[in-house]
Amino acid sequence: MTARAAAKQKQIGKFPSDDKRWLIVAAVMRKYGSAQSALIETLHAVQSSFGYLDDSSLAFVARSLRLPLSKVYGVATFYSHFRLKPQGKHTCVVCMGTACYIKGSAKLLQKVDRKYGLKVGDTSADNKLSLLEARCLGACGIAPAGIFDGTVLGNLSDDLVESKLDSWIAESESVSQTK
């Protein structure tokens, strides 16, 4: 490592692990001059590299940007986009914004809890399915809306949600039976 690279690395701090993906995060930090105002961009870089933000990565970001850990946690927990736990193979995001709430999204979540034993933020024990919520997906005209593995679906009903989740579970089971 050159002296210049070493100085830059010192500014960013010691990576939480040897994982090469930290180099991507460090590159984003350098792009913004390790500025405290680049906290959200930095958290995005960590999440897109690792899939979620764990305690060690939040502590690393706080150290590197010279911010209180409480501030970094505050931002990470405020935005529903950020994930603090690893996600399952499939993700179901139900919108709890006003339009969707009025059209019954809270009841949809209750039904999912009753049938699949999943609350918002949970991932199933087999890591196949994560249930999340969001605040307005910008699809209020088709409320209640949700995102299923990245695809926005509207006019959600109990049957529609169950058929999606059941198809993911069935797919997982058929894959495990062929192994």
Contact residues toward ligand FES (CB under 6 A) are 95, 97-100, 136-137, 139-140, 143, 145
Q: Are strands 129-134 and 90-95 parallel, antiparallel or unpaired?
A: parallel
Smaller CB separation from ligand FES, 62 or 143: 143
Look-up: residue for tokens 């809306």? 145
Residue 36's CB is within 10 A of a number of other CB atoms, namely 11
Minimum Å gap between C-beta 109 and ligand FES is: 13
Residue 156's CB is within 10 A of a number of other CB atoms, namely 23
Minimum Å gap between C-beta 15 and ligand FES is: 38
Smaller CB separation from ligand FES, 16 or 97: 97
Smaller CB separation from ligand FES, 98 or 110: 98
The residues that bridge with 146 in the sheet, in sequence order, are: 94, 153
Minimum Å gap between C-beta 161 and ligand FES is: 14
Minimum Å gap between C-beta 145 and ligand FES is: 4
C-alpha 102/C-alpha 94 separation (Å) is 13
Handedness of CA 154, 159, 162, 167 (dihedral sign): negative
Which position's Cβ is nearest ligand FES? 97
Smaller CB separation from ligand FES, 140 or 169: 140
Encoded tokens for 128:
């196949």
